[in-house]
């Protein structure tokens, strides 16, 4: 019976398949095959033995069920895998399996292969999401809305700016992920404490050849494990990605609030139910799921950092948390990337509410513009600021349109006519360089994405 929600509720088939136990076993067997092949090339083990090991080192011959059965007795997963492979090898080939290696040579190198496959999927998801955001930015570069700071109405901005900002941030995550992969995905066949003692002078060459056969770079130095600062960096990159998706989800949730109502995630009114008690509810449940799962992903950072602190050449305290945080971080990050794409692809705009909110403060959001125009027409900046601030406070206290207060102010009249004030109060014409900034971001990132295609 399934217990963990990842088994039946969260995650994509593509990422889950990478972290399934059978695929993990297959990757470990691939490392054993590459090790035997490299050692045969260097005259360390017989070529016939290596050929047989390579032929049998896969899950077609070595079954996960048999490995688990052996592990019940050995209490050691790598030894169980070696014994299961040995059972399948004819002649004396089984005698040469795992020569000169330690368990974590196999585990960490296999894990590098899993990370490499995971990063490939994550990269694809991020690029897809960036492209969607760039498209949304371009389409909405002139969709004017109110910008908010501290939760309060500030100045007009555009939805194009929001989408472009998120695209730019995700592009940085793409760069971080690629950079991290270079350090994380390395091969390691260095022996029990990293000295190549069992392999002697041929150790460095074995490490190099095994890594090359698996499409990895050889580790420069290790003790008994690939150092966990690399793995901590990877988890931190995933946590950072999750924080951006949390930011997007939080913004959508806020903008969907009844009092705001500017955008909505898709809701199937024919089938979907928002509440078991309240028939009218249409909740932003997908955005909330993104925000909730991002908390779980970020929580793995602490364990990942602590896993770098091991006794001497290593202990096992990193092993148990890594069995949880590596697959879960990859699966959940991939999942919320896909959820974010689906939300944004079907995002609904309520232009009536966008316009209503733009004018909610009766023109107060144009105060900065009045100050700027007064200064442009000859009034001192500090004087202009005080006069306009006094007008704003009066507008709030007396619940009068800001335009009316400004228009009637005797000091302002000396610098601005009623017609000029009226023109200045249009929020749609006070978005600065927002469309140009959006265009620049779209053009720049589209060009940069070519490096990843």
pLDDT tier at 279 (50, 70, 90 boundaries)? confident
Q: Is the pLDDT reported for residue 272 higher than 90?
A: no
Q: Is the pLDDT reported for residue 266 higher than 90?
A: no
pLDDT tier at 280 (50, 70, 90 boundaries)? confident
| H, E, C per residue of 174-206 | HHHHHHHHHHHCEECCCCCCCCCCCCHHHHHHH
Q: How many CB atoms lie within 10 A of CB 317?
A: 13
**Where do the CATH 1.10.40.30 domains begin and end in the chain?**
364-424
pLDDT tier at 453 (50, 70, 90 boundaries)? confident
54-88 as b/e, with b when 16 or more CB fall inside 10 Å?
A: bebbbeeebebebbeebbeeeeebbbbbbbbbbeb
**42 contacts: CB under 8 Å, gap ≥ 6:** 202, 205, 206, 209
Q: What is the pLDDT of residue 277?
A: 83
Q: Is the pLDDT reported for residue 147 higher than 90?
A: yes
Q: Of 1.10.10.410, 1.10.10.10, 1.20.200.10, 1.10.8.60, which CATH number belongs to 111-359+432-453? A: 1.20.200.10
DSSP state of 153: E
Tokens of 64: 């996960």
pLDDT tier at 275 (50, 70, 90 boundaries)? confident
pLDDT digits (tens, 9 = 90+) for 386-401: 999 999 999 999 999 9
Q: Kindly state the average pLDDT of the residues 22-34.
A: 98
Burial of residue 380, with CB atoms counted within 10 A of its CB: 0-12 exposed, 13-18 middle, 19 or more buried: exposed
Q: Is the pLDDT reported for residue 353 higher than 90?
A: yes
Please confirm, yes or no, whether 275 is among the known catalytic residues. yes
Is 98 in a helix, a strand, or coil?
A: coil
Cross-strand partners of 158: 144
Return mean pLDDT, the chain. Answer: 96
Which position among 150, 276, 280, 312 bears the catalytic label?
150
Q: What is the pLDDT of residue 94?
A: 97
Q: Is the pLDDT reported for residue 268 higher than 80?
A: no
**DSSP per-residue codes, 256-313:** TSTTT--EE----TTT--S-SS-TT----HHHHHHHHHHHHHHHHHHHHHHTT--STT
Q: Can you give the pTM of this predicted structure?
A: 0.95
* Residue 441: its H or E element: helix 434-449
CA distance 61 to 68: 14
Q: Indicate if the alpha-carbon torsion angle 229, 231, 234, 240 is positive or negative.
A: negative
Please confirm, yes or no, whether 280 is among the known catalytic residues. no
Largest CA distance in the chain: 104
**Where do the CATH 1.20.200.10 domains begin and end in the chain?**
111-359+432-453
Q: Is the pLDDT reported for residue 267 higher than 80?
A: no
pLDDT tier at 89 (50, 70, 90 boundaries)? very high
Whether domain 10-99 has CATH 1.10.275.10: the reply is: yes
pLDDT digits (tens, 9 = 90+) for 282-331: 888 999 999 999 999 999 999 999 999 999 999 999 999 999 999 999 99
Burial of residue 449, with CB atoms counted within 10 A of its CB: 0-12 exposed, 13-18 middle, 19 or more buried: middle
CA distance 235 to 229: 10
Which position among 4, 76, 179, 275 bears the catalytic label?
275
Q: Is the pLDDT reported for residue 98 higher than 90?
A: yes
pLDDT tier at 1 (50, 70, 90 boundaries)? confident
Strands 186-187 and 217-218: parallel
**Where do the CATH 1.10.275.10 domains begin and end in the chain?**
10-99
CA distance 135 to 129: 10
Whether domain 364-424 has CATH 1.10.40.30: the reply is: yes
Q: Is the pLDDT reported for residue 271 higher than 90?
A: no
Q: Kindly state the average pLDDT of the residues 246-252.
A: 98
Angle between helices 229-255 and 103-139 (to 10 degrees): 30
pLDDT digits (tens, 9 = 90+) for 160-210: 999 999 999 999 999 999 999 999 999 999 999 999 999 999 999 999 999
**Residue 43 to residues 54, 57, 309, Cα–Cα distance (Å):** 16, 20, 38
pLDDT over 90 percentage in the chain? 95
pLDDT digits (tens, 9 = 90+) for 406-450: 999 999 999 999 999 999 999 999 999 999 999 999 999 999 999
Q: Is the pLDDT reported for residue 259 higher than 90?
A: yes
């Amino acid at each position: 019976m399934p217990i963990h929600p990842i088994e039946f509720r969260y995650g994509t088939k593509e990422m889950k398949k990478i972290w399934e136990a059978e695929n993990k076993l297959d990757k470990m067997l691939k490392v054993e095959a590459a090790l035997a092949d490299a050692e045969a090339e260097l005259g360390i083990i017989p070529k016939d033995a290596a050929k047989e090991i390579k032929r049998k080192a896969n899950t077609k011959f070595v079954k996960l069920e048999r490995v688990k059965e052996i592990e019940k007795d050995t209490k050691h997963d790598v030894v169980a895998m070696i014994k299961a492979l040995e059972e399948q090898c004819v002649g004396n080939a089984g005698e040469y399996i795992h020569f000169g290696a330690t368990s974590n040579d196999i585990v960490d190198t296999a894990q590098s292969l899993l990370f490499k496959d995971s990063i490939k999927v994550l990269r694809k998801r991020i690029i897809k999401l960036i492209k969607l955001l760039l498209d949304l930015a371009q389409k909405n570069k002139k969709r004017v809305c109110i910008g908010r700071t501290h939760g309060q109405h500030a100045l007009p901005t555009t939805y194009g700016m929001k989408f472009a900002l998120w695209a730019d941030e995700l592009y940085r995550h793409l760069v971080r992920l690629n950079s991290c992969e270079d350090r994380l995905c390395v091969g390691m066949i260095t022996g029990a404490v990293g000295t190549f003692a069992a392999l002697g002078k041929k150790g460095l060459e074995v490490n190099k050849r095994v890594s090359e056969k698996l499409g990895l770079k050889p580790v420069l130095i290790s003790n008994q494990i690939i150092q966990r600062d690399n793995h901590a960096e990877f988890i931190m990159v995933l946590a950072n990605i999750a924080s951006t998706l949390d930011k997007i989800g939080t913004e959508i949730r806020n903008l969907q609030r009844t009092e705001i109502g500017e955008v909505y995630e898709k809701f199937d009114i024919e089938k979907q139910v928002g509440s078991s008690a309240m028939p009218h509810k249409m909740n932003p449940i997908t955005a909330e799921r993104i925000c909730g799962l991002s908390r779980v992903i970020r929580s793995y950072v602490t364990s990942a950092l602590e896993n770098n602190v091991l006794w001497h050449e290593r202990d096992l305290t990193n092993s148990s948390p890594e069995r949880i945080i590596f697959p879960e971080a990859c699966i959940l990050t991939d999942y919320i990337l896909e959820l974010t794409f689906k939300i944004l692809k079907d995002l609904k705009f309520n232009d009536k509410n966008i316009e209503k909110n733009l004018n909610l403060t009766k023109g107060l959001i144009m105060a900065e513009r009045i100050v700027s125009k007064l200064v442009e027409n000859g009034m001192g900046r500090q004087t202009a600021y005080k006069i306009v601030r006094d007008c704003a406070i009066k507008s709030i206290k007396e619940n009068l349109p800001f335009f009316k207060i400004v228009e009637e102010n005797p000091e302002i009249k000396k610098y601005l006519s009623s017609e000029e004030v009226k023109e200045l109060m249009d929020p749609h014409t006070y978005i600065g360089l927002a469309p140009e900034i959006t265009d620049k971001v779209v053009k720049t990132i589209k060009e940069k994405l070519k490096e990843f295609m």
